[in-house]
Chains A and B, each alone.
Chain A
Amino acid sequence: MADVNITVDGRKLTAPAGTLLIEACKSVGIEVPSFCYYPGLSLQGACRMCLVEIAKMPKLQTACTTVIQEGMAVTTASDTVHQARKAMLEFVLQNHPLDCPVCDAGGECELQDMTFSYGASESKLIDFKNHKDEEQWSPVVFFDRPRCILCYRCVRVCGEGMDVWALGIQNRGALSLIAPNQDDHLECEECGMCIDICPVGALTSGAYRYKTRPWEMNHVSTVCLHCADGCKTTLGVRRQGSGNQIVRGDNRDKSGINGDFLCIKGRYAFDFIEHPDRLKQPLVRKNGTLTPASWEEALELVALRFREARDTDGGASMGVIGSSRTTNEENYLLQKFARLVLRTNNIDHHRTADFPAFVNALSGRAHATASMRDVLSAPAVLLIGNDPTYQHPLLAWQIRTNVRLHGARLYVVNSWPIKLTRQAKEFLQIPEGAEDKAAAFLAGDDSAADALLTSKTTREKLAGFREKLQGEQNLVVIFGSELRGQELAALVRAAARGAKYICLGDHANSRGAADMGLYPDLLPGYLPLSEAARFGEPWKSVPQQPGMDLEAMVAAGKERKLRTLYVVGSNPVARYAIDPFALAETFVVVEDLFLTETADLAEVVLPAACAYEKSGSFTNTCGDLQLLRKAGDCEGVKPDLEIIVRIAELMGFDIQQLAPLDPSGMRADFGESRGVQSGEVDQQAIWNRRQGYEPRVSPFNPFAVLKEIQRVVPGYNVGQLELLSGNDVHTATAGRAPGKTEADRFILPSHENLFTSGTLGRYSDVLNRVIEARLRLPNEKEKEIAAD
């Protein structure tokens, strides 16, 4: 678009035609205060804070609704403008309760900030203020009308942004108020976006209210540990006891791939951390019951039994199950531990997508995966299967926002009119379970059409749909776990012309777990076992025979051929409904947060730190790599990384061959507390010193492991600086998974919805309260979703 020249306060500036005056001012650092204006949401012109003088206009004009015109001369720094701002604040404070001392928003309130910057120092008010009692709309949303300044941001973010439309405006004049569209309560996605976007303390969160003041918290930027989308979150932490307690989740830092977005899980479901059932001490089975034990005792027992098993029956008798929730570093180290220390390829994890087939199909096209950011800017998106609104909330937000703001064309193929069909340009409804056929058809196989016909889907419709897709350039193709093996490969190979792909897995690091080689037949980066040597000298000893997958391990257990099973952050017994007696003779070690169904069978249970309690990295389902920063502490637990290294050490393994020692990591990256700033005890440093390690060289340094990953895992050689500065970096797919033609039958999607998160979700008080509240709703559909 052509550029337009204007002057603001005498400064010349140029901006593209169509730019709003408020944005043009911002681009040169001139602040125009605003309440109702919010980038990406519809314009309101309601708060009148942004009034400025424009030459030749008799009245002040709102900068938020004015589009710049060539030659426009604007004044923001005049007495008239200052007076208008001051008066606007006086007006809005008329009925404002000024209960800042007890208000959650106090300290990070836009009204406070504006009043300090532009407001009057004294109140002219003599009369009483209108009052209305506070209301609770849902387990997480509270509304305090007197504090509301009616900027309508909440209404818009819920409607335009979330496409939920749960909030409305009632009454008029001074009695106007924000209200749920369902009587007195919300029937919504409980994302908390309304609370987050509220400039004042009118909407407050049931999970955070009255807990602390903003200035009492430190803010740690990390990555959500729930679904596979990888939202950047900011955790508010506060000192408690000898560590840090997480008191809030939000996204004050809007620089992440999620921009403004967080779903209920990212925002509130960190509370499982403090669940009373959290394991805080190792447990060792004594006389048939799991009994608390010291770390030394538990680890020594594990090391002893592992060594015994390896040295007598060999690695083939040992199994390892990794996690789609632990970090890349831990998964990488875990498979290295299996392959180098236990000398086995018997390693697997809960697979939720056919990543090997995906990577294989992309071979030769290292940069053909779409990032989460691409979804926001792609001209067209094809979505086959899955229901992102519930399973991939951020992805759904990206798609919706792209359609709304950039006019992207969305094509949906699903057996059900999922919510995103509202944004779809074309919706192809297919019979249940026919996603693979749809992929085959779209890839050009006309014989697949028969399986796709429904009362609504005719041959003509199918052909038209495919034709339109073929006309799309730079299409982003997204599919769920419904697509596997051959059909997945055919689809990925078929589309060309700049198409990019996303394969949807479940849980925060499912892609990372796959990338890090938690497979019996694949090394990190989906490399075949035959290429082990390229990882370095010690890897030459890695067995060339593929190991057992999870199913085979269980079968071996039944035959009493599995001597040990090391389960890290996974609950296969519940997931796969494994017969508990199958493992009766196996020495099972479980590292987890809770006494899961699997842990309940174990001989040794080791309490682990969750992803909010350690540093490291996650790879989201798109392949975006991001750093985790340690936020909270839980006394008694250890990060999986540390546990793995300690077991190896106790087994007599030269840990320098396992865990790289690298002095380059930053202090906080060591998994140490952020003690330097807050003056808290630097426990990790004390431990390091006691062990005789250099304070800056630790075998538990996830960043040293990350460096190794970046060096050896194809596709992960991305910019360190980008990562360290908190950005997401898209990885490439340079792997060469052996082409499998058979669909991976071990894939089991986790079927999470907005309010569940596997085993972890069961321990989240917030999620449970929301599910419970929804079960009480009269609406049958909501019940279904909640019970799902």
Chain B
Amino acid sequence: MADLVSHPDEVRVVSKRFGEGATDIDRYLALDGYKATQKALTMGADAIINEVKASNLRGRGGAGFPAGMKWSFVPKQSPKPKYVLCNGDESEPGTCKDRLIFEHDPHSVIEGVIIAGIAVDSHQGYIYLRGEYRYLIEIMEKAVADAYARGFLGKNIFGSGYDFECAVQTGAGAYEVGEESALMESLEGKRGIPRIRPPFPAVVGLYGGPTVINNAETLANVPHIILGGGEWYASLGTPKNGGTRLFCLSGSVNKPGVYELPMGYNLRKMIEVAGGIWNGRKLKAVQPGGSSVPVLTADETDIPMDFDALMKAGSMLGSGAVVIIDDSTCMVKYALRVMKFYQHESCGWCIPCREGTDWLKKTLIRFHSGGGVRRDIDNIQYLAENMLGRTFCPFGDAAAMPTISLVKKFRQEFEDHLEGKPCPYEDHGKIEHLPVLTAWDHRTADPWAQAH
């Protein structure tokens, strides 16, 4: 379990009950728990959706899609059952906020799922937990069981006549099943491969039924919006970016951790919230929305952290993971580290992502260990650009975007690695020198044998 951090600038909404023992259902009830659900039961679907729309709550999973609008896409009538899914697959490197919600305030997620259910007239929810989050299963399952025991879940919840079932499910450990359609495949017990869209989940989702899928943080915000009102929530953030956000500040800072700050909080100030750059070093770059987004150079960091401002700056707010990079970091190695992740996590369904990430990883390994040639730099860029926008799901973009930005913004560092020069940032002896294989060297490797 992670230690909690705090800072005076924090505005605590979703993290309000962190450290308050709210996993205990009585304690949760004492802290206004399940009031929102009861209120929602009296409001009716349209009123809930309007409230959420008014709150300007945007999806915390990465894309920032307005939650209220998403819910309104679900058809009112459906021959098939409708579903609400909580996306708790949280796997984006640097992102570690959903787990805190599950750990400290599991009932708020359940409430969010129930309220979304009422809003779209669904009677079945699923909370999908990341496969690696084994320790959270017990907490969430207990929370669901407690809610059932109290009659907050199941038939006739709160004596309202409304039925709502909810179950916890885990993945097998894959970043890609965080992608909504892959998550549904996984939940149905299949390989975690995305689906062809359209149709979108709101129309054809889990088991072919209309489905609302939201990030855990998005859903955990909903009870607060129901109780505090959409207008109040919207006022906490910037226009069109309602409320607060759990920012996961990590990297070269003194006090890394998850801080709840208002939407639009300045990025420079945010670094100070995390205790500033460590070891007296200087800021070099920031990846402001998780490993999938283009990097910002130090000069570009005087910027409000909301979806629209970052989009304008050529990056994205993404999952709320803010990775802070100091000037002792080799950006080639950074690119390699990112690509290793994507190569490992690519589901392999489509050609450009499967082959592109593999090719880029091989090239970057060789490049970083001193085997780079000049045309590699352009080729890295070429490969990433040709993945961008052409893959089956946005994963390919997630792998391509940071790579493109790293080559563009830190090309000099790539040049510095050329023609057998050792990495300027690392002790020569420390680099793991891989055999440099070239085109005229007809060796091949069997990665399948290595994987086992």
- Asked if A126 contacts B445 (CB within 8 A), the reply is no
Asked if A174 and B351 sit within 8 Å, CB to CB, the answer is no
Residues of A20-69 whose CB lies within 8 A of B: 43-49, 51, 58-60, 65
Complex: A129 Cα to B392 Cα, angstroms:
23
B 310-358 contacts with A by CB, 8 A:
343-352, 354-358
Contact of A173 with B by CB under 8 A: yes
Q: Is the CB of A174 within 8 A of B386?
A: no
Q: A195 at the A/B interface (Cβ < 8 Å)?
A: no
Partner of A125, one of B192, B345, B359, B451: B359
Find B343's partner among A129, A145, A174 (CB 8 Å cutoff). A174
Contact B354 A150 (CB under 8 A): yes
Do A150 and B386 touch across chains, with their CB atoms under 8 A apart?
no
Which of B410-452 touch A at CB < 8 Å? 437-439, 441, 443-448, 451
Compute how far the CA of A205 lies from the CA of B356 in the bound complex, rounded to whole angstroms: 31
In the complex where A46-B350, A92-B355, A173-B354 touch, is A130 in contact with B343 (Cβ < 8 A)? no
- Could you tell me if A60 and B390 are in contact, using CB atoms closer than 8 angstroms? yes
User: C-beta contact mask, A104-143 vs B, less than 8 Å → 1, else 0?
Assistant: 0000000000000000000111111111110000000000
Contact (Cβ within 8 A) A174 B357:
yes
Residues of B344-397 whose CB lies within 8 A of A? 344-352, 354-359, 362-363, 366, 373, 375-376, 379, 382-383, 386, 389-392
Find the A residue at minimum CB distance from B448. Answer: A132
Q: Is the CB of B447 within 8 A of A88?
A: no
Please classify the interface of chain A as helix (H, G, I), strand (E, B), loop, or mixed, using the class held by over half of its residues.
loop
Q: Are B389 and A130 in contact (CB under 8 A)?
A: no
* Alpha-carbon gap, A211 to B438, bound state (A): 33
Determine the distance from Cα of A150 to Cα of B389 in the docked complex, in whole angstroms.
20
By the criterion CB–CB under 8 Å, are B444 and A171 in contact?
no
Q: Is B2 an interface residue (CB 8 A)?
A: no
Are A91 and B348 touching (Cβ within 8 A)? no
A153 to B: closest C-beta gap in Å: 14
* Contact of B444 with A129 in the complex, beta carbons under 8 Å: yes
CA distance A124 to B362 in the complex (A): 13
User: How far in angstroms is the closest Cβ of chain A from B197?
Assistant: 9
A-B contact count (CB 8 A): 132
The answer to whether B439 and A175 touch across the interface, beta carbons within 8 angstroms, is: no
Q: In the bound complex, do residue B196 and residue A43 qualify as a contact, i.e. CB atoms below 8 Å apart?
A: yes
Docked CA distance A16–B193 (Å): 31
Decide: A130 and B359 in contact? CB cutoff 8 A: no
Interface size of A by CB at 8 A reads 43
Contact A65 B196, beta carbon cutoff 8 Å: yes
Q: In the assembly, what is the distance between CA of A172 and CA of B451, in Å?
A: 12
Q: A46-B392, A169-B191 are in contact. Are A131 and B444 (CB under 8 A)?
A: yes
- Known: A51-B390, A126-B373. Is A131-B446 also a contact (CB below 8 A)? yes
Known contacts being A48-B352, A124-B379, A128-B444, is A174 close to B390, with CB within 8 Å?
Answer: no
Q: Any chain A CB within 8 A of the CB of B105?
A: no
Would you call A127 and B437 a contact (CB within 8 A)? yes
Kindly state the separation between the CA atoms of A175 and B445 in the bound complex, as whole angstroms: 12
List the A side residues contacting B196 at CB < 8 Å: 43-45, 65
Establish whether residues B348 and A150, one from each chain, have CB atoms under 8 Å apart when the complex forms: yes
Q: Tell whether B176 is near chain A: CB-to-CB under 8 Å.
A: yes
- Complex-state Cα separation, A83 to B388, whole angstroms: 13
Per the bound structure, the CA–CA distance linking A172 and B182 in Å amounts to 13
In the complex, A354 Cα to B32 Cα: how many Å? 82
Q: Is the CB of A88 within 8 A of B357?
A: no
Flag whether A293 is at the interface (Cβ < 8 A): no
Q: Which residues of A contact B184 (CB under 8 A)?
A: none
With A91-B356, A126-B376, A127-B437 as contacts: A175 and B348 at CB distance below 8 Å:
yes
- Cβ-based interface call for B25 (8 A): no
Partner of A130, one of B345, B386, B445: B445
Q: Are A175 and B359 in contact (CB under 8 A)?
A: no
When distances are taken between beta carbons in the complex, the residues of chain B under 8 Å from A127 are 359, 362-363, 366, 437
Taken together as a complex, chains A and B put the C-alpha atoms of A127 and B439 apart, in Å, by: 6
Closest chain B residue, CB of each to CB of A64: B196
- Considering the complex, give the chain B residue whose CB is closest to the CB of A151: B351
Q: Which of A46, A84, A95 contacts B390 (CB 8 A)?
A: A84
Residues of B within 8 A of A87 (CB): 352, 382, 386, 390
In the complex the two chains form, is A48's CB within 8 Å of B351's CB? yes
The distance in angstroms between the C-alpha atoms of A423 and B366, with both chains bound, is 53
What is the bound-complex CA distance between A132 and B450, given in angstroms? 11
Give the residues in chain A near B344, CB-CB below 8 Å: 173
Tell me which of A43, A49, A174 contacts B354 (CB under 8 A): A174
**Does A176 sit at the interface, judged by CB under 8 A?**
yes
Which A residues, 161 to 206, have Cβ-Cβ distances below 8 Å to chain B?
A: 169, 171-177
A47, A128, A171, A174: the one contacting B443 at CB < 8 Å is A128
Query: In the bound complex, how far is the Cα of B357 from the Cα of A150, in angstroms?
Result: 16
Which B residues are in CB contact (< 8 Å) with A124? 375, 379, 382
Interface assignment of B153: CB less than 8 Å from any CB of chain A:
no
Is the pair A174, B444 in contact by a Cβ cutoff of 8 Å?
no
B174 at the interface (CB under 8 A from A): yes
Query: Which of the listed residues B176, B345, B358, B376 has the most CB atoms from chain A within 10 Å of its own CB?
Result: B358
When distances are taken between beta carbons in the complex, the residues of chain A under 8 Å from B439 are 123, 125-126
Which residue of A58, A125, A173 contacts B357 across the interface (Cβ within 8 Å)? A173
Instruction: Report whether A173 and B446 are in contact in the complex, using a CB–CB cutoff of 8 Å.
Output: no
Is A47 in contact with B343, judged by CB distance below 8 angstroms?
no
Chain B residues 119-154 with CB under 8 Å of chain A are none
Whole-angstrom distance from the CB of B448 to the nearest CB of chain A? Answer: 5
**With A and B bound together, what is the CA distance between A44 and B347 in angstroms?**
14
Asked if residues A59 and B352 are in contact (CB atoms below 8 Å), the reply is no
Q: Are B347 and A172 in contact (CB under 8 A)?
A: yes
Please provide the chain A residues from 81 to 97 with a CB less than 8 Å away from any CB of chain B in the complex.
Answer: 83-84, 87-88, 90-92, 94-95
From B174, B354, B362, B451, A128 is in contact (CB under 8 Å) with B362
Pairwise interchain contact A130-B447, C-beta atoms closer than 8 A = yes
Question: Residues of B contacting A123 with CB < 8 Å?
Answer: 439
Select which of B359, B375, B392, B448 is within 8 A of A91 by beta carbon. B359
Interchain CA distance A88-B390 in the complex, whole Å: 9
A593 proximal to B (CB < 8 A): no
Q: Kindly list chain A residues whose C-beta atoms are within 8 Å of the C-beta of B443.
A: 128
- Interchain Cβ contacts under 8 Å between A and B, 13 examples: A45-B392, A48-B350, A59-B389, A90-B386, A91-B383, A126-B438, A128-B441, A128-B445, A132-B448, A150-B348, A172-B191, A173-B345, A175-B451
Which B residues form the contact surface with A (CB < 8 A)? 174, 176, 191-192, 196, 343-352, 354-359, 362-363, 366, 373, 375-376, 379, 382-383, 386, 389-392, 437-439, 441, 443-448, 451
